[in-house]
């Protein structure tokens, strides 16, 4: 990924950055939130002034593939300035929370999520 970052910089693109810190994350795990918050704090609060003014944060993992062209994405974001785009699970919230273990405490350890106690 650092090779991609350097290649883009050489072509004049300054809006792509690879985080130097690595964390073991699990989808939906607490370390994923820790990584996301660290990344935002590192860029917004970091020493590079070109990274302090954001309009949007687009959270993509290595397996995500944008389905819009860059032009379509820019148009869609500009047309909806000031809005957040979050997708819900799409069904009964109470049932979803029950299924996800809302009544249990979890701990992330050894790159796994462990159910450790009832709430």
Looking at the domain assignment, is residue 66 inside a domain? Answer: yes
Looking at the domain assignment, is residue 103 inside a domain? Answer: no
Looking at the domain assignment, is residue 98 inside a domain? Answer: no
- Residue 7 predicted with pLDDT over 90: yes
pLDDT value of residue 10: 96
- 9: closest CA among 55, 17, 27, 1? 17
Distance, CA of 12 to CA of 18 (rounded, Å): 16
Count Cβ neighbours within 10 Å for each residue of 48-77 and write b for 16 or more, e otherwise: eeeeeeeeeeeeeeeeeeeeeeeeeeeeee
Q: Percent of the chain at pLDDT above 70?
A: 94
Looking at the domain assignment, is residue 95 inside a domain? Answer: no
Looking at the domain assignment, is residue 116 inside a domain? Answer: no
Q: Whole-structure pTM over 0.75, yes or no?
A: no
Looking at the domain assignment, is residue 52 inside a domain? Answer: yes
- Residue 1 predicted with pLDDT over 80: yes
Quote the number of domains for the chain.
1
Distance of CA 102 to the CA centre of its chain: 22
pLDDT value of residue 102: 82
Looking at the domain assignment, is residue 105 inside a domain? Answer: no
Q: What value does the mean pLDDT take over residues 11-22? A: 83
Q: Which domain range does residue 79 map to?
A: 2-86
Q: What value does the mean pLDDT take over residues 11-36? A: 81
> pLDDT digit string (tens) for 47-96?
777 777 777 877 777 777 778 888 998 999 999 988 887 766 667 777 77
Looking at the domain assignment, is residue 36 inside a domain? Answer: yes
């Amino acid at each position: 990924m650092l090779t991609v970052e350097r290649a883009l910089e050489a072509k004049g693109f300054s809006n792509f950055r690879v985080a130097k810190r690595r964390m073991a994350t699990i989808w939906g795990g607490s370390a994923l939130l820790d990584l996301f918050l660290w990344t935002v704090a590192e860029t917004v609060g970091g020493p590079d002034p070109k990274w302090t003014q954001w309009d949007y944060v687009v959270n993509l993992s290595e397996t995500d593939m944008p389905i819009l062209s860059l032009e379509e994405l820019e148009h869609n974001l500009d047309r909806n300035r000031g809005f957040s785009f979050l997708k819900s699970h799409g069904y009964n919230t109470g049932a979803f929370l029950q299924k996800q273990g809302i009544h249990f405490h979890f701990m992330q350890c050894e790159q796994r999520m462990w159910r450790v106690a009832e709430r």
